[in-house]
Amino acid sequence: MIQQAVKTTVGEDKVAVNVNADEAAVLGAALHGASLSRQFKTKDIKVSDVHMYDIQVSYATEPKEGGSPKTITSTIFPPSSKTGSKKTLSFKRKDDFSIKLLYKKTPFVCVPMIRDTCCL
């Protein structure tokens, strides 16, 4: 059931079911050890932390004469942007106002199961 949920979320072609967890840990440790050694040449293994979903900002415009304010929603961090990135937004306003940060698409949430909890 967990494998099916992971396949649905990330795509069936990206999930390897033929890998043993113990073997994967040993292989990772061996590759890391080889990368630290001067006797072996290995490719650099780089890991980066990225956002999985669009992060948007939403705010109301200043109302024009006789009109109502419009809500503006814009994406500030697209998917795969690095976690910890900075974004500067400039506003030409004199009064205080509220902004909302939200995901464009609702992220996958934890689904309680009978014995365990599945969080992806």
Higher pLDDT, 109 or 2: 2
99: nearest Cα among 54, 56, 38: 56
Q: 26-72: per-residue pLDDT in tens?
A: 888 888 888 888 888 877 777 778 888 889 999 988 888 888 888 98
- Our count of domains for the chain comes to 2
Percent of the chain with pLDDT over 70: 87
Q: Are 118 and 109 in contact (CB under 8 A)?
A: no
Same domain, 71 and 100: yes
0.75 cut: is pTM over it?
no
Same domain, 28 and 55: no
Q: Which domain holds residue 82?
A: 50-120
- How much is the pLDDT for 100? 92
Q: Give the pLDDT band of residue 109 (cuts 50, 70, 90).
A: low
- How much is the pLDDT for 112? 56
Least confident interval from 1-5, 29-33, 83-87, 109-113: 109-113
Same domain, 32 and 59: no
Q: Are 50 and 81 in contact (CB under 8 A)?
A: yes
Same domain, 61 and 106: yes
